[in-house]
Chains A and B, each alone.
Chain A
């Protein structure tokens, strides 16, 4: 049970990392400043969780 819980937890962090990477790629390729700012704001909670800060 504990092992499964750990695996699930890792899956969530991997998913968070994957989404964060996708957002960064989209941010780099974006051409509108509004979209860029929104990507930066939306990225915050993903990075905070990924780095285990919040």
Chain B
């Protein structure tokens, strides 16, 4: 009987050690960031609010200052780290961007805690690799919600501050349901509060929150705009098909839906807030095998079948939605937004060079624009 107990316990211990090692490696995986020619400073989010300093959500903020007059734009990557194109598009700005007018602030891991955990019962891979000419760059696959290791327990119902709106309990760990944040709240709420402080102190004019969505989600391939950003978003939406070769709709931020960046940043600061959504079949509930390949190519027979049944809000065929396409949509949409902003407000221009657009990312692939940390002198880690 003792031998039987030992054998059974050995099985459990093996799963514990191997599984535990995988979780530990995932949480502590260092993602290299090669600072591009345009990065003039790197500060911490905690510099703007002590309540987040030193915590897992004290993320890096990359500043690309042209030194010339203009507006300030904030790019939020990693609000939901299970949407990798949102992080990687921001990455291309940090590694390649050079501002020639105005200033850009970039967050690659807006909710860093959520980038260190994968979704329970989601069977996500712990990481994925973007191939480059010199090898590959490994990134953490994340979750929609902050890790319970950083924020636990959850309440039975999440009551949003300050609106008092009731939301599902897990959304208290959802970075894009916690805006404008609370100084004495949970780590997710404090991270949002810290960003709001930064937006106010740095006098940010324009915030773009990058996302990806499942194809069965009605808000997809679109710009969600706060009412003060309606003119800008409409302009961008009109320009994209002709200038970049893809469509992106425009929607108004619902006034009754609280906690989202496009609503609360606009309401609680002077910044114009926009949210961009790209399609990510990996997030669809009807997806087939959950693999790294599916994550990167977006090819999925079952999602195509759901599309044929009219259940999706974006087209999909056998070619899927490759991550290069999704990243290219984001980089082009950001660059087009800066150009449109400058046309609307020529006295506060924004201009950026060196970042690949939609067609270039598809032609050369994302890896072409990621630089080798081994041969670079300015490398930081996320």
Contacts and interface: CB of A to CB of B under 8 A. Distances in A.
Direct contact of A and B (CB under 8 A): yes
Interface of A: 1-2, 8-9, 12, 27-28, 31, 33, 36-37, 40-41, 43-44, 47-49, 51-54
Nearest to A40: B12
Determine the main DSSP class of B at the interface with A: helix
Contacts of B19: 44, 48, 53-54
Contacts of A47: 16
Nearest to B10: A40
Contacts of A2: 184
B20 interface: yes
B79 to A, nearest CB: 23
Interface of B: 1, 4-5, 8-9, 11-12, 15-16, 19-20, 23-24, 117, 148-149, 152-153, 184
B20 A33 contact: no
A12 B153 contact: yes
Contacts of B11: 37, 40
Contacts of A44: 12, 15-16, 19
Contacts of B8: 33, 36-37, 40
27 contacts: A1-B184, A12-B153, A27-B5, A28-B5, A31-B1, A33-B8, A36-B4, A36-B5, A36-B8, A37-B8, A37-B11, A40-B9, A40-B11, A40-B12, A41-B12, A44-B12, A44-B15, A44-B16, A48-B20, A49-B148, A49-B149, A52-B149, A53-B20, A53-B23, A54-B20, A54-B23, A54-B117
Given A27-B5, A54-B20, 5 more contacts: A2-B184, A12-B152, A40-B11, A44-B16, A48-B23
A12 to B, nearest CB: 6
Closest 5 CB pairs of A and B: A40-B12, A53-B20, A53-B23, A1-B184, A54-B23
B20 A51 contact: yes
Contacts of B16: 44, 47-48
Nearest to A35: B8
Contacts of B24: 53
A29 to B, nearest CB: 10
A54 B18 CA distance: 13
A52 B1 CA distance: 32
Contacts of A40: 8-9, 11-12
Nearest to B5: A36
A41 B9 CA distance: 9
A1 B12 CA distance: 38
A1 to B, nearest CB: 5
Q: Which of A8, A9, A44, A54 is most buried by chain B, counting CB atoms within 10 A of its CB?
A: A54
B27 to A, nearest CB: 8
A9 B152 contact: yes
A53 B24 CA distance: 6
A8 B155 CA distance: 12
Contacts of A12: 152-153
Q: Which of B4, B9, B148 is most buried by chain A, counting CB atoms within 10 A of its CB?
A: B9
B225 to A, nearest CB: 35
Contact of B4 (A9, A33, A49): A33
Contacts of A49: 148-149
Contacts of B152: 9, 12
Nearest to B27: A53
Contacts of B117: 54
B125 to A, nearest CB: 16
Contacts of A27: 5, 9
Contacts of A36: 4-5, 8
A49 B148 CA distance: 9
A43 B117 CA distance: 20
A53 B8 CA distance: 22
Contacts of B9: 27, 40
Q: Which of B8, B117, B153 is most buried by chain A, counting CB atoms within 10 A of its CB?
A: B8
A14 B53 CA distance: 27
Nearest to A1: B184
A12 B152 CA distance: 8
A9 B186 CA distance: 12
